[in-house]
Each structure stands twice: as structure tokens, then as C-alpha cells.
Amino acid sequence: MFKKLCIFFRIDRSDLSYEEAISIYKRHNGIIIDVRNPEEYKSKHVKGAINIPLYEMDNIKNEIIDPDEVILLYCKTGKRSRMATAHPDAWNGLR
């Protein structure tokens, strides 16, 4: 079970702000995953984030070594991040 799987782009009150996400990332030595496409990632991304586009979410298991790590997901609007949390193959066996 992950300690915490969070989305940071504030669509609603339960989402994290950028500042909250970075604070959690630093405090827990978490993983930041940018689920946007590679072109968006190359143009600008959060320092330290890794790029796993939504269409490649089944590869996330290859990036997560410790299932107890804090995972922070982000995209431009929050829509793809929410879709990523619901991706059936990405989190199978990790939650």
C-alpha cells in the first residue's frame, strides 16, 4: 500500500497545491510523476519529476521501487492525473 498517492493541480479542495506537493515531496523524499506527453514535459516540468505519459501508465511499476513511497502525480489541468490514478494496470499489485 502506498503511503499516499496524490494529485497536485487544484481541481477541487482535496487536490494539492504546487506548494503543498513540493513540501510533501521534500519531506517524504517522494516521487513526482508528470503524466503529460513527452513534448509537454520537455517544454517545462517540475524539477525532479519523471515523465510517464498517461498512455504509458502500465510502465509505472518499473519506476516504483518501494511501494511505500509517496507518489505525486501532475498534469496541466488535473484530468490526466485523475485518469492515471484509476488506470487499471498501473497500480495492480502496488496498492
Q: Which of 35, 60, 75, 84 is catalytic?
A: 75
What is the rounded (10 degree) CA torsion for 18, 19, 23, 29? 20
Residue 47 phi/psi, 5° resolution? -55, 130
Q: What cell was used for 82?
A: 485523475
The question of whether 6 is a catalytic residue gets the answer: no
- Going from the C-alpha of 88 to that of each of 2, 67, 78, the distances in angstroms are 16, 16, 18
Active site residues: 75
